[in-house]
Amino acid sequence: MKRLAATVMALIALLMAYTTAHASAESRLDAVIKGLLGTPYKYGGTTTKGFDCSGFTAYVFAKFGVELPHNSAAMAKKGVKVAKTDLRKGDLVFFNTSGKGISHVGIYIGDDKFAHASTSKGVIITEMSDKYYAKRYVTARRILSDSAYEKIAVAQPAQPAEQAQTEVVEVVDDAPDAEDADLAEDADLAENAELAETADAEAAEEAAEQ
């Protein structure tokens, strides 16, 4: 009887250890984003002193050796288009908050949520179903290759943060298609007119959110 009790206790201990390990496990992407939550908003910001939306997105991907332009509309030309129903962690999601084309970008983190830099709240996590953003959703792009996705977006055992900040990963080749023609035109207009991240566009966004 004592032997049975000891066996049961050992199994319970193993189960608890397994559950705890998996509950605490997070992906490298999760770890980087988690460390930036609460960073204040700064127009044109690209550092931890303050980010705008594309500055935040570019900063996160730079941690993995992926270079992205500091412009949401220009980012919409990178990688390959992906359907909203097929989103996976690490995909970029784009919104038209200016009424003149893509003007906001965030990083999809799974569970129907995305991380982004808000003008009033800084770096936060928002539901994709949020009324304001759901109405203004435009498209999504996949930047990470399947192998890169496995390395940085899938939960891994705990490891030093430095590792997540130095590894260079493989990205998906840019693949514009016919469906992206209008998107590309909007991107050029937004980039040339600096509509991607103007104060007026983001002021309108925050006014609508409140």
Report pLDDT digits (tens) over 90-102: 999 999 999 999 9
| Kind and range of the H or E run holding 122 | strand 122-127
Question: Does the residue 6 lie in any domain?
Answer: no
Measure the CA–CA gap between 89 and 28, rounded to whole angstroms.
11
Total number of domains constituting the chain: 1
pTM (global) more than 0.85? no
Neighbours of 176 (CB within 10 A): 14
Of 38-42, 67-71, 129-133, 198-202, which range is least confident?
A: 198-202
**How many alpha carbons fall within 13 Å on the CB side of residue 37?**
11
What residues pair up with 81 in beta bridges, in sequence order? 141
Q: What is the pLDDT of residues 136-148, one digit of tens each?
A: 999 999 999 999 9
| Positions marked active-site | 53, 104, 116
Question: Does the residue 19 lie in any domain?
Answer: no
Q: What is the CATH number of the domain that holds 89?
A: 3.90.1720.10
Q: What is the pLDDT of residues 14-57, one digit of tens each?
A: 444 444 344 447 999 999 999 999 999 999 999 999 999 999 99
Measure the CA–CA gap between 26 and 121, rounded to whole angstroms.
24
| Contact yes or no for 56/74 (Cβ under 8 A) | no
Measure the CA–CA gap between 42 and 136, rounded to whole angstroms.
22
Question: Does the residue 31 lie in any domain?
Answer: yes
Question: Does the residue 88 lie in any domain?
Answer: yes
DSSP 171: B
* Tokens at 3, concatenated: 């032997």
Question: Does the residue 115 lie in any domain?
Answer: yes
Question: Does the residue 79 lie in any domain?
Answer: yes
Question: Does the residue 1 lie in any domain?
Answer: no
What's the domain range around 42? 25-209
DSSP 74: H
* Tokens at 95, concatenated: 């919104």
Phi, then psi, of 32 in degrees rounded to 5 = -65, -45
Stretch 172-182: mean pLDDT: 56
Question: Does the residue 174 lie in any domain?
Answer: yes
